[in-house]
Amino acid sequence: MKFLNPVCFFTCFIALSSIVYGQQELRLIPQRCATMENLELQWRANPSLQKKFEEERDRFNKAARAGNYRLAPGQKTQHNGNRSYIMIPVVFHIVLSDPSVVTDAQIQAQLDTLNKDYAGLNGDSVKVPSYFKSVFGQSGIQFCLAQQTPDGEPTTGIERVTTSKTSFSNTDNGVKHAATGGADSWDPSSYLNIWICPIANQILGYATFPGAGADDEQGVVADYRSIPGGSLSGYNGGKTITHETGHYFNLYHIWGDDDGLCTGSDFIDDTPNQANSSSACISGVKTDNCTPSGTGIMYQNYMDYTLDDCLVMFTVQQVARMESALVAYRPSLLISSGCKPAVSYNLDAQLKSIRQPAQRICSVPFVPVIIIRNRGVAQLTSLNITTVLDNTTTATTQWTGSLAQLASVVDSLKPIAAAPGNHILKIYTSDPNNGIDQNTVNDTLSVNFQYSPPVTSVSESFEGTQFPPTGWDIVNPDNAITWQKVTGVAKTGNSSVVIKNINYSAVGQKDYLRLPVVDLGDPGKVIDSAFVSFQVAAATYSDINTSGNTWDTLEVVASTDCGQTYTSLYKKFGSTLVTRKAHDTAAFVPSANEWRKDSIDISSYIGTPGLLLAFKNTTGFENNIYLDDVNVHTLSVNKNLKSSGFLVTPNPTRGNIIVQFYPQPKDVRAIQVFTMNGQKVAEIIPAGQSNYYAIDISRYSAGLYIVRIVKGGEVMVKKIVKY
């Protein structure tokens, strides 16, 4: 039994070491589990989240002890002899450069281990010492490989995904998202998602506690070498997933994560107080400074760090806590149909996805692109497809072809015109093989999109009431923290935009703030150059001199295919990005002098229609980045200036003259003004090179003057008239 001391509730990892000869390499395993580390990262990013989490944990503890969360007799529907079980559907996402390395047999062995461990039927349970037999727990929770996907399609419960990533970090949950080289979760309310992958930083696994983490990141992650048949000697018995699934059902480490202070808690009364995690295989009574006598600590418990062969038990109260957590936090798993075989129909045409339009279209008319899938048993040879824009039917076309069961095809539909603004496109299928579709729930999809005509320039300081402004949009793939308008912080005016990376614990996530589509061309004007400029303010959380750190990164990217692909034009991070040199562990808010104007030459895109520019933030869990005064503008050079290389204007003049060069010179030594009698009345000796110089001769009398330019080894002159 342990007693709660919130001050001591922090991450602690004790070094475990094991010599492993997989592929003839020595490997040390210093951290078995990173679940608590991940929780601490979330709390660092948002201290109020920690308070909320701990308040909810305390509420659950009281309610569970009062017996408020109990499985109803009817919820245990699967029977094995005299015992009833709850069946939880599981999907294993195997994410590797070669996913075939993990076999179906290994996954089945892992599932068998998980089920035996939870039911208390593992042969290793004979290792439970006599003095712990009275608290040996047997759970009613069991696990099946999913037999149908969230869309109702048949599955083996094993998804293999090929990735280019050599490993995944526990700190960014990249393995849980296809956009970052991983695999998207299946509906976490209906499946236990388990990701099998290589994990960086010598970590074996991690999981999400109930109430912590994003909904689409709920589940368990384990290193592929830790499952049965894996190469991590001592840790390849499949107990890592047993341990992490315990966290998923609200169990804590048996030692209370208090670094040996004996004041932490796992909130379980029938586990002895324990100073720290165990390592290796132990035998007999083991005591420590928290339990210095009696039967000692319970190093045999799945929530310890002992080697796999010596992890053999949950306790009665751990079992009760997991089942209570299932009822309190994950009740939809109890009614999931994932363990049931998928239902097949003879005629079942599925509109699988709408590939185009995406969130934005850049020109009209546009062509919808869809994917059709045959979910039926019968060969699919024809299908009617109807498009509806803003509740108005635009066309019904017939697709013909030949699709076997579960085969798919991409189809482009008739072009559709759209006025500027926001729209809803609905597409539905009907009449497969000129018959009746026997499953209509997968026939219809809708997509929201926007269209704004191209503009020739952009000038935006985010002072308007609408955000994003007209023609702008935000791409937020993970539906988490993204670009937002902020008032009271600005370079000019009262508003700017910010992305709060200090609260964005996921590393490597990308968010786009996209400008209106620009056409850098005017039929009546020759454009010589084009630029995008903006004010930026940024700081880091970490010391700027930290080597090997992952920094927040700001890019300006350009697309000529309406956002399907991008080219990076500007990329800054760390010391090249910040405008406050000292790192800041509080949320960065820039002062008036902590802004910097950056400009990018985009002249190469002159004449390219449909240019889409965007600010792209890639998270490094550092600090806030602000933007203001975004401008896209073009410049046209006077044709006389282009032909002669320099120009003096106006001529005649009242006294103020401008000397311009094209292109910008590198060797202007002097610009002088003389009277016709040879008297020098003005002179500029450039400290640096420019293509623009202003001279004032207004205090001199009217008459004829000579402008003399010394450029490199040549002298150029121009007569002007002052009146």
**Residues with a known catalytic role:** 244
- Cα(175)–Cα(164) distance, integer angstroms: 11
Q: What DSSP assignment string belongs to 628-663?
A: EEEEEEEE---HHHHHHSEEEESSSBSSEEEEEESS
Q: What is the 3-state secondary structure (H, E, C) of 104-120?
A: HHHHHHHHHHHHHHHHC
3-class DSSP state of 224: helix
Q: Which residues contact 123 (CB under 8 A, 6 or more apart)?
A: 116
Q: Give burial (CB, 10 Å; 0-12/13-18/19+) of 617.
A: buried
Joined together, the tokens standing for residue 232 give 């991590």
Torsion angle (degrees, nearest 10) of CA 503, 505, 507, 511: -40
Pairing of strands 83-96, 158-162: parallel
8 A C-beta contact, residue 212 and residue 325: no
Give me the numbers of helices (H) and strands (E) for the chain, helices first please. Answer: 6, 36
3-class DSSP state of 467: coil
Joined together, the tokens standing for residue 268 give 């379980």
Locus of tokens 């700190």: 171
- Cα(686)–Cα(668) distance, integer angstroms: 7
- Cα(362)–Cα(364) distance, integer angstroms: 7
The closest of 160, 161, 121 to 138, measured between CA atoms, is 121
How many CA atoms does the CB half-sphere of 524 hold within 13 Å? 1
- Longest CA pairwise span in the chain (Å): 119
- Cα(164)–Cα(167) distance, integer angstroms: 9
- Cα(254)–Cα(56) distance, integer angstroms: 20
Q: Which residues pair with 370 in a beta bridge?
A: 354, 411
- Cα(399)–Cα(546) distance, integer angstroms: 59
Give the length of the chain.
723
Q: Which residues contact 523 (CB under 8 A, 6 or more apart)?
A: none
- Cα(692)–Cα(710) distance, integer angstroms: 15
Torsion angle (degrees, nearest 10) of CA 130, 308, 330, 211: 110
- Cα(366)–Cα(359) distance, integer angstroms: 13
8 A C-beta contact, residue 621 and residue 507: yes
Q: What are phi and psi of 719, to 5 degrees?
A: -85, 140
- Cα(185)–Cα(187) distance, integer angstroms: 6
Tell me 53's DSSP state. Answer: H
8 A C-beta contact, residue 682 and residue 697: yes
- Cα(220)–Cα(245) distance, integer angstroms: 6
8 A C-beta contact, residue 507 and residue 573: no
Judged by phi (left if over 0) then psi (alpha if -120 to 50, else beta), residue 345 lies in beta
Q: How far is CA 499 from CA 84, 171, 534, 618, in A?
A: 50, 19, 15, 10
Q: How far is CA 219 from CA 181, 205, 338, 477, in A?
A: 17, 11, 16, 20
Joined together, the tokens standing for residue 60 give 């659950």
The closest of 180, 228, 236, 178 to 204, measured between CA atoms, is 236
8 A C-beta contact, residue 230 and residue 239: no
